[in-house]
Amino acid sequence: MSGKAVFFDRDDTLIHDSHYMYKKEQLNFIDGVFDVLKKIQDAGYQLFIFSNQSGIGRGYFTEAQMHEFHSHMEKGFQEHGISFTEIIYCPHDPTQTDCDCRKPEPKLLIEACEKYKLDPKQCFMVGDRITDAQAGERAGMTSITLNCDYKNNISKLEDIFEFIPLKD
């Protein structure tokens, strides 16, 4: 395994969260996100989104509606030359099931590393919650938190380069 990647939480990391989002009009990108992701991608990192989407399990929206929202979101990124290798997500309602794919569990991160031949030591998990960081750490990655009182914390996305090297 030799590949490197950055896994991003979706809500309040890449886009503003308006709670159980699935409608196109709810999409609102975080300031500076395009420049940051483009620099990371241009440095040779694969980009992923890893998101808990319990709205599916709770019946607030369907998986098809979520995929439609993600397609709309990805088009916004593609307009800036940014593409994601994959969007991975947990669809389960945590009040109804004990699944092993919801953050802070690392299962989906580990599976992505195996599938895409990524070295976890060369990967980063970026999110706005401690559970994002815990998932990354449990998968053997470096975790970075955004506006969260936890280690490797940054106050704005542009500060991510304190932790992610753009050159080998």
**Residues 143, 26: contact at Cβ < 8 Å?**
no
Cβ neighbours for 11, distance < 8 A, ≥ 6 positions apart: 17, 21, 51, 128
List the catalytic residues. Answer: 9, 11
Pairing mode of beta strands 118-127, 86-90? unpaired
Residues 6+ apart with CB under 8 A from 18: 26, 28
CA distance 51 to 118: 19
Provide φ and ψ at 61, rounded to 5°: -155, 165
SS (H, E, C) 71-124: HHHHHHHHCCCCCCCEEEEECCCCCCCCCCCCCCCCHHHHHHHHHCCEEEEEEE
